[in-house]
């Protein structure tokens, strides 16, 4: 996708930061800027993250959340997260990315110009499942839903009603209902 200005191609970091501070550029990732005022949609944010480091993995968790709904700063998370299409061992990782060894079914994947992202519903499920391990799952869940529009929340709840035989499905459903504003469930307690 054109319109990206990448670190050291052609400008060094100091020049890019100067243009950002002057309001001429906005930063999307650690190494990618776009012209100020550019509307960042999911396809643009996905392209800014670049190609996956390994085949058969999808952007997931906080990275997919950023692709779908952005962030308050506009920037991508520092750590890029992926999940394998099918459960398999990934023997490599780098400091700026990590891979979860889980299954992502074809119905739970969306593709943007060759880059695969977990669907909005699967993204929220993964983040709420991780929130179950937090010291305050409801607050963590509320943070997850902070930028998610009402229609996407309702679509997630409808999708979640059909989820069966998945690890932590009942507890994740209870956390989703507690987080979105319905009555908290006693099943959230460890």
* Cβ proximity of 131 and 144 under 8 Å: yes
* Cβ proximity of 18 and 12 under 8 Å: no
Statement: residue 107 has pLDDT above 90: yes
Over range 149-167, report the average pLDDT. 89
pLDDT of residue 54: 85
CA distance 176 to 56: 29
pLDDT of residue 117: 97
Band (90; pLDDT cuts 50, 70, 90): low
pLDDT of residue 1: 43
Band (49; pLDDT cuts 50, 70, 90): very high
Band (94; pLDDT cuts 50, 70, 90): low
Over range 80-103, report the average pLDDT. 80
CA distance 82 to 190: 28
CA distance 62 to 20: 24
Contacts for 148 with CB less than 8 Å, ≥ 6 apart:
69, 124, 156
CA distance 12 to 116: 30
* Cβ proximity of 121 and 89 under 8 Å: no
List the helix and strand counts (H, then E) for the chain. Answer: 7, 8
pLDDT of residue 168: 87
Statement: residue 38 has pLDDT above 50: yes
pTM check: above 0.85: yes
Over range 131-144, report the average pLDDT. 93
Q: Which range, 94-108, 123-137, 168-182, is most confident?
A: 123-137
Q: What is the residue-averaged pLDDT of the chain?
A: 88
- Identify the weakest region by mean pLDDT among 56-60, 93-97, 121-125: 93-97
pLDDT of residue 8: 84
Statement: residue 182 has pLDDT above 70: no
Statement: residue 118 has pLDDT above 90: yes
């Amino acid at each position: 996708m054109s319109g990206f200005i990448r670190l050291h191609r052609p400008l060094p970091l100091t020049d890019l930061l100067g243009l950002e501070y002057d309001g001429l550029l906005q930063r999307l990732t650690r190494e990618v800027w776009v012209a100020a005022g550019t509307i960042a949609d999911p396809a643009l944010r996905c392209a800014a993250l670049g190609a996956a480091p390994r085949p058969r993995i999808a952007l997931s968790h906080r990275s997919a959340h950023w692709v779908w709904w952005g962030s308050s700063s506009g920037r991508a998370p520092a750590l890029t997260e992926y999940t394998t299409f099918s459960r398999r061992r990934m023997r490599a990782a780098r400091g700026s990315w990590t891979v979860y060894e889980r299954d992502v079914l074809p119905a739970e994947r969306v593709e943007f110009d060759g880059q695969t992202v977990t669907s909005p519903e699967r993204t929220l499920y993964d983040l709420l499942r991780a929130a179950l391990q937090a010291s305050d799952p409801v607050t963590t869940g509320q943070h997850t839903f902070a930028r998610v529009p009402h229609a996407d929340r309702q679509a997630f709840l409808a999708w979640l009603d059909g989820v069966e035989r998945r690890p932590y499905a009942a507890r994740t459903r209870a956390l989703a209902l507690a987080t979105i504003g319905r009555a908290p469930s006693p099943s959230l307690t460890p």
